[in-house]
Amino acid sequence: MTTDRLIHLGRREDISPSSILMLKADRNYTIIYLDDGTKLLSSVNLGLIEERLQPYAFFRVNRSTVINLEHLNRFTVIPHKAKDKRQNFCKKNTTEIFLSRRRVAEFRACVNV
């Protein structure tokens, strides 16, 4: 889980990939959620940051969200078909993430479900 290499996010700050929980797209910007609870706003779009994080354990769950699989226990991943029944999936102290129906098989392969 320790990573010596830092990732450039388009700011004057480089960040260790292991400290990133999630990336969320906001038009041409990206909101970076860190494990210490802080958020950063980057002017680099989600696709470019995702490319920079490709060697690490990150997965794009839908069009606007990329999660760090090292921190998977902090998320409740809800399959697309179960959006309406999400009360059955929720765990305490987790963030709900909706998984695109086109990415279900790839996600299962990544997490060995």
Q: Is 77 left (phi over 0), alpha (psi -120 to 50) or beta?
A: beta
Residue 1 is predicted with a pLDDT of 47
Region 91-110 average pLDDT: 81
Which tokens go with 88? Answer: 């059955």
**Euclidean distance between CA atoms 62 and 55, whole angstroms:** 19
- pLDDT value at 94 more than 90: no
Residue-wise pLDDT for 69-81, tens only, equals: 998 888 888 886 6
Residue 3 is predicted with a pLDDT of 44
- In CATH terms, 7-111 corresponds, of 3.40.35.10, 2.40.50.1020, 3.60.10.10, 3.30.1490.100, to 2.40.50.1020
Which tokens go with 13? Answer: 């700050």
Average pLDDT of the chain, as a whole number: 83
For residue 103, what pLDDT band results from cuts at 50, 70 and 90?
confident
20 - beta bridge partners? 34
68 - beta bridge partners? 58
30 - beta bridge partners? 25, 42
Q: Are 45 and 38 in contact (CB under 8 A)?
A: no
Region 15-38 average pLDDT: 93
State how far Cα 70 lies from the chain centre: 10
